[in-house]
Amino acid sequence: MSSWKKKLIFGAMIAAIGLLLVLVPQTRFLEQEIGLPILFKLRGQKAPPSDVLIVTLDKDSAEQFQLPPEPDTWPRSLHAELVDHLMTHNVQAIAFDLHFHRSRSRQNDRIFARALQRAGRVVLCECLKTEKVQAGMYTAQIERPDPPVQILQQNAAAVAPFPLPKVPVKVAQYWTFKTSAGEKPTLPVTAFQVFALEYYEHLRALLKDVSPDLVRELPANSSDILSAGNLLPTVRDLRELFNRHPSLAPKMLKELSRSQRFSNDEHGRRILNSLIKMYQSPENLFLNYYGPPGTIETVPYYRVLQGNQSLAQGHKPTQLQGKAVFVGLSTNLRPEQQDGFYTVFSQSSGVDISGVEIAATAFANILEDNHVQPLPVAWILVLVAAWSFVCALLCWPLNTLRSAAGGGALCAVYTIGAQQAFASNALWLPLIIPVCIQFPLALSWGILWTFRETHREKQSFSKALGRYLPPDMVDRLAKEKHEEGTTAQIVHGTCLITDAGQYTTLSEQMSPQELNAFMKRYYETLFRPIKEQRGTVINIIGDSMLAVWTSASPDMSIKRKACLAALNIPSSAEGLHPAFPHVSLTTRIGMHSGEIFLGDVGAMDHYEYRPSGDIVNTASRLEGLNKLLGTRVLVSEAVLSQVDDFLVRELGVFLLAGKSKPIAVFELLCLLEAADQQLKEFCEIFQAGVEAFKQQSFSKATELFSKAQHACPGDGPSQFYSAFCKEYEQNMPDDNWDGVICIESK
């Protein structure tokens, strides 16, 4: 099985686990309880809109008014005074997150009711009580409202619930409309509609522009809504319209974006955009908290009523005009913690966020259209699958340290990206699954899988090759990728074959002992550069040597090492034997790259581990071509693929002896950085000659090759081509000749 197939299988396994985790409710719970708070902590505190104010019933206010610490016992005439005071400062909406379901003083109730009637912009909170109802064999749960006393309910602009879970989990969501209570709008939604009443006519006009038939049952203006007690019915009717017509919101938003009536009123455009988004929203939304308790502007009850007296005591003035005011208990001013909810910003000291601050946060989110937006499940599945394959590529088969370091860096980059998306667009990307589950799992599996593969391969190769290879060779080959149960493998590599000129003459002049000593020293000059470049000498026959560089997959670095070794092999060896100080051997080299079959060759009890295949044969033919061209190092185009730091000379396209396909042949000259300008110019002249030769411009080619010989006297390839040009000038090649030179001899 190939390396890439194993990586794909590995990635698919990690992806399958990740996709399964996405669909498991417990994992989504972990993302909400751990991942989301991490994003909030990384983002830090965020500035809330200035349009929202919280007025708190706290211990200091009770002491100032000389009232009991229990807010339920405070006279409702005091709330009436607060409402009147706020309305004289032109607030836009008032919402009480307090329960008035019991009457304590009818006179105070009447005073409060008259203040509510005068204001016309006050929303009161009601409780929702869950009751069990027996229906035959089944038990159903229904939610019944527990509204304020009748006189207050009748004079308030609206009454709305604000249910929140009071259980030991973080409050992350709130209801916009309570479906189980008859699609009833909650306190933040109702308060926002009151806050935006002055833009109701514009909302109705937008609705009429995109769908005239839908506005017939709606009140004509905001006065009709308030005077007839139509606020809640209107909110419900609008919600029903948006639910029945899903395309309504996009059409209205498009019309709003191009409408000219708000060209000078950006605030109005923002309010209408938020209204439309509110009515098309799902039943519940994720809260985008602004920070710890008290982040939204919070003022004690007594300071609002004291007004100028509060300023005289050194408190900064409170701006009330145009704001939405939420009245309720605040835990950062009340240590009793009777109304605290556990959230992402709950403090280690035990201070939680109060219900009224959560309501104000929801209102601010609606106003800014800036709720936390979870990534859709379909996109989470895509993200988790893609992340799985990235982890697979990173964690297999690299070593543990690299995988851990690279994975840690990748997880850090992902976390930073998730934090940026959350901070800028409130987009909630999963953290727990990819960073805390998938990557550690991929790293662990990668380590185990790599260890298992390496151990199995090493054992297999050691057993198979230990009979006829040195220990160091066995160890090296055991690290190559191969299938279990075989002593052969297909690898990618480069073959280098050498041949010594004048060897036959030399063998006639020396005794066998002298020749043996001479050749030992000669091979030392060959082996040294090969070993320095991590090559392996496979075979020696007479004056010829075969060396290879192999890898499990195509690797540019091994081809570069082979080229360096070829350049470092001396062109001629002199002084290798004291009895023959002036005798030298000229070394010719041929190189080719590609897939090589590495295996044992032999029979019975004699085997040789050696490469075989077309790569070896072609390298041998290239080495032999040196004799004909008068060159020293010839390489194929495959050797030079992705290796560009050497100066080479293209010698043309040759059909070598015994081959059916021609190949491009190059002469390896030197490292590019070591080449002087004269040598480069010589190569350019020769290259131009080869191109002219291919185009059958033989007279021009002859001239260029003559020029090349003048630049480099005795240049073999130039002489070779000059001879061919003269022959072809006299006997033109066939019309279908494509510039390929056929070599008949080996």
pLDDT, average across residues 54-75: 89
Confidence of residue 193 (pLDDT cuts 50, 70, 90): very high
With vertex at residue 465, the alpha carbon angle to CA 459 and CA 469, rounded to the nearest 5 degrees, is 130
**What distance in Å separates the CA atoms of residue 505 and residue 672, rounded to the nearest whole number?**
36
Full set of structural domains in the chain with CATH: 3-43+375-454 (no CATH), 52-130+141-368 (no CATH), 488-643 (3.30.70.1230), 670-746 (no CATH)
Pairwise pLDDT comparison (690 vs 390), residue with the higher score: 690
Q: Would the pLDDT of 143 be above 70?
A: no
Which residues, including other chains, have CB under 8 Å from residue 366's CB and lie 6 or more apart? 188, 189, 192, 274, 277, 278
Confidence of residue 582 (pLDDT cuts 50, 70, 90): low
Phi, psi torsion values for 373, nearest 5 degrees: -110, 105
Q: Are 729 and 699 in contact (CB under 8 A)?
A: yes
- The pLDDT assigned to 543 comes to 82
Cα of first residue to Cα of last residue in the chain, in angstroms, is: 38
Q: Are 166 and 341 in contact (CB under 8 A)?
A: yes
Taken as a whole, the chain contains a residue count of 746
Task: Count other Cβ atoms within 10 Å, centred on residue 427.
Answer: 15
| pLDDT (tens digit per residue) in 430-449 | 998 888 888 888 887 777 77
Q: Are 618 and 604 in contact (CB under 8 A)?
A: no
Long-range contacts of 486-490 (CB under 8 A, 24+ apart): 486/460, 487/461, 487/599, 487/600, 488/597, 488/598, 488/599, 488/600, 489/597, 489/598, 489/599, 490/595, 490/596, 490/597, 490/598
- The pLDDT assigned to 626 comes to 93
Point out the least confidently predicted range of 7-16, 287-296, 380-389, 473-482. 473-482
| pLDDT (tens digit per residue) in 209-262 | 999 988 888 888 888 888 767 899 999 999 999 999 999 999 999 999 888 777
Pairwise pLDDT comparison (604 vs 105), residue with the higher score: 105
pLDDT, average across residues 7-27: 79
| pLDDT (tens digit per residue) in 610-657 | 788 899 999 999 999 999 999 999 999 999 999 999 999 999 999 999
The DSSP secondary-structure symbol of 673 reads G
